[in-house]
Amino acid sequence: MKIGVDGSKLPGAAQLTPVGILDRAHALGMEGVYFRTVLDITPTLDRGVLRELRHHADHLGLYLQMGLAKVNPYAAAEAPEVRVLGDGDYTRGMTRMIEACREGADCGELWVACGNYKRDLPGYYAVDRFRSDAPWPDQLAAIDKFLHQLAPVARHFDCHLNIETHEEITSTEVVRLVESVGPDALGITFDTANVLVRGEDPVAAAHRVAPYVRATHLRDSLLAPIEQGLARTFSPVGLGVIDWPALLGALHAHTPDLWASIEPAGPTLALPIGLNDPVWLALHPDLVESEKKELFRLAEQYAARAANGEVPSVERFRAEPYDGDAFIRRSAEHLRVILETLGAA
């Protein structure tokens, strides 16, 4: 397993060129870069730019991954640039992005997601699962239909559209989509912290998705009790509640050469997990009671460690200034130690 970083979350990324992001990641000791979307590299899908990036990644010995856009037709209006690429047709725009990733950068493991996270909206409504105008089952049906449309393109270019375990969707639902369309066209981008928001134990989720995981977003989280249930706060790998030896062991058992991409994120947002809320619970029919109990146990365990001075309290951690470079270095160090013990370094 090589350890890399999500290029869009690299500190200072907005002021860097894509090649500069590769150089910055390499200087931090990373072994690869995961660009969230090919449009972050070249909004016009310029093959020359993509070939230059591939050449530079190879020169530095870095893996290179990239992605596409959202595959939820109910969210398509929030990505007008994709429709423009398709001359008014969102499907054609996605097709052209797939072509560019393969033809320009020779990348075939392509990120996609099923919704948007809206930081300016309150509580549950920050994620598309809770839209009242478009019930979540209707969104899932539309996502499934759209992925069936894109699957022949993915197969033609020998690509996988790797659905992220994003904030709005459960790992169980992602697995269903992969199995519905086919693992020859779809895979999973496993975000280790997002599954917490859907009431899932990250280790149990890892075992569910492991057969289909082709990319990763790795970060940890703190859990704190609130009236609705719990709240998630991002943290570096190894500081939070996730059992990393068990999680990485599950992934490594299925895909020994999987690339491990750290996704740094600040601690300012605490997204609610409504494990005590009937409204929230009604929208989670696949919730596993034992995993719900495990999340409360993990929160209690972290609080006990904080009381003993082993880790900062959630309040103290959230008050600390965010240092993206430190987040990446600390996460990478912890991952390397565990991968060494697994024989996966």
pLDDT digits (tens, 9 = 90+) for 21-39: 999 999 999 999 999 999 9
Q: Quick one: pLDDT at residue 268?
A: 72
How far apart (Å, rounded) are the C-alpha atoms in residues 249 and 75?
Answer: 35
How far apart (Å, rounded) are the C-alpha atoms in residues 260 and 54?
Answer: 19
How far apart (Å, rounded) are the C-alpha atoms in residues 325 and 236?
Answer: 11
**With 90 as the cut, is the pLDDT of residue 119 above it?**
no
How far apart (Å, rounded) are the C-alpha atoms in residues 228 and 16?
Answer: 41
Average pLDDT of span 289-301: 98
pLDDT band at 107 (very low <50, low <70, confident <90, very high): very high
How far apart (Å, rounded) are the C-alpha atoms in residues 186 and 218?
Answer: 20
Average pLDDT of span 121-147: 94
- Where b means 16+ CB within 10 Å and e means fewer, 292-304 reads bebbeebbeebbe
**With 80 as the cut, is the pLDDT of residue 273 above it?**
yes
21: helix, coil or strand? helix
Tokens standing for residue 5: 């970083």
CB 222, CB 233: distance < 8 Å: yes
- How many domains is the chain built from? 1
Q: Quick one: pLDDT at residue 122?
A: 81
CB 98, CB 110: distance < 8 Å: yes
pLDDT digits (tens, 9 = 90+) for 214-263: 999 999 999 999 999 999 999 999 999 999 999 999 999 999 999 999 99
How far apart (Å, rounded) are the C-alpha atoms in residues 258 and 214?
Answer: 7
**With 90 as the cut, is the pLDDT of residue 322 above it?**
yes
How far apart (Å, rounded) are the C-alpha atoms in residues 193 and 273?
Answer: 12
Q: Considering only the C-alpha atoms of the chain, give the largest distance between any 2 of them, rounded to a whole number of Å.
A: 60
What value does the mean pLDDT of the chain take?
Answer: 96
**With 90 as the cut, is the pLDDT of residue 143 above it?**
yes
CATH number at residue 21: 3.20.20.150
CB 200, CB 171: distance < 8 Å: yes
Tally of CA atoms within 13 A in the half-sphere of 125 that contains its CB: 6
Which residues span the domain enclosing 222? 3-342
CB 299, CB 225: distance < 8 Å: yes
Tokens standing for residue 117: 């996270």
Q: Quick one: pLDDT at residue 274?
A: 97
Provide the β-strand partners of residue 186: 161
Average pLDDT of span 179-198: 98
Q: Quick one: pLDDT at residue 293?
A: 98
pLDDT digits (tens, 9 = 90+) for 164-186: 999 999 999 999 999 999 999 99
How far apart (Å, rounded) are the C-alpha atoms in residues 296 and 77?
Answer: 37
Q: Quick one: pLDDT at residue 121?
A: 85
Q: Quick one: pLDDT at residue 281?
A: 97
Q: Quick one: pLDDT at residue 10?
A: 94
CB 50, CB 61: distance < 8 Å: no
Alpha helix stretches (DSSP H) within the chain: 18-27, 47-60, 80-85, 90-105, 136-156, 171-181, 194-197, 202-209, 244-254, 278-282, 289-307, 314-319, 324-342
Q: Quick one: pLDDT at residue 270?
A: 85
If 0-12 CB within 10 Å is exposed, 13-18 middle and 19+ buried, where does residue 268 land? exposed
Q: Quick one: pLDDT at residue 325?
A: 96
Tokens standing for residue 101: 């990733």
Q: Quick one: pLDDT at residue 220?
A: 98
**With 90 as the cut, is the pLDDT of residue 344 above it?**
no
pLDDT band at 73 (very low <50, low <70, confident <90, very high): very high
DSSP, res 76: G
Average pLDDT of span 56-72: 98
Amino acid occupying residue 270? A
pLDDT digits (tens, 9 = 90+) for 82-99: 999 999 999 999 999 999
Q: Quick one: pLDDT at residue 112?
A: 98
pLDDT band at 269 (very low <50, low <70, confident <90, very high): confident
How far apart (Å, rounded) are the C-alpha atoms in residues 125 and 128?
Answer: 7
pLDDT digits (tens, 9 = 90+) for 297-320: 999 999 999 999 999 999 999 999
* Strand (E) or helix (H) holding 110: strand 109-113
How far apart (Å, rounded) are the C-alpha atoms in residues 271 and 167?
Answer: 9
